[in-house]
């Protein structure tokens, strides 16, 4: 491989890496915009805090739902049958 061919190959690799970096940067910008719009989060750290809070809310709601189902089943088990 000649020096010119090697240079052209390296140049092409660098240009491809730049395109990928630009694409990733654009995707990150879109995700950050979506986080801000949908959840009011300006940073990844804020999004992680929001996620933990939402997960806790889901856990509480699941427990409440499961309790309600158990109460319902106990109350109506004779009418529901097996």
Per-residue confidence in pLDDT tens, the chain, 82 aa: 799 999 999 999 999 999 999 999 999 999 999 999 999 999 999 999 999 999 999 999 999 999 999 999 999 988 877 5
**CA–CA dist 33, 43 (Å, integer):** 10
C-alpha angle 57/32/43, rounded to 5°? 65
pTM of the model: 0.65
Where exactly are the structural domains of the chain? 1-40, 43-82
Tokens 């933990």 appear where? 52
Q: Residue 54 in contact with residue 61, Cβ under 8 Å?
A: no
């Amino acid at each position: 491989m000649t020096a010119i061919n090697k240079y052209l190959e390296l140049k092409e690799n660098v240009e491809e890496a730049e395109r990928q970096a630009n694409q990733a940067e654009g995707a990150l910008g879109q995700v950050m915009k979506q986080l801000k719009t949908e959840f009011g989060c300006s940073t990844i750290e804020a999004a992680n805090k929001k996620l933990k809070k939402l997960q806790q809310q889901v856990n509480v709601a699941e427990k409440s739902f499961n309790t309600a189902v158990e109460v319902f089943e106990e109350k109506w088990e004779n009418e529901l049958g097996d």
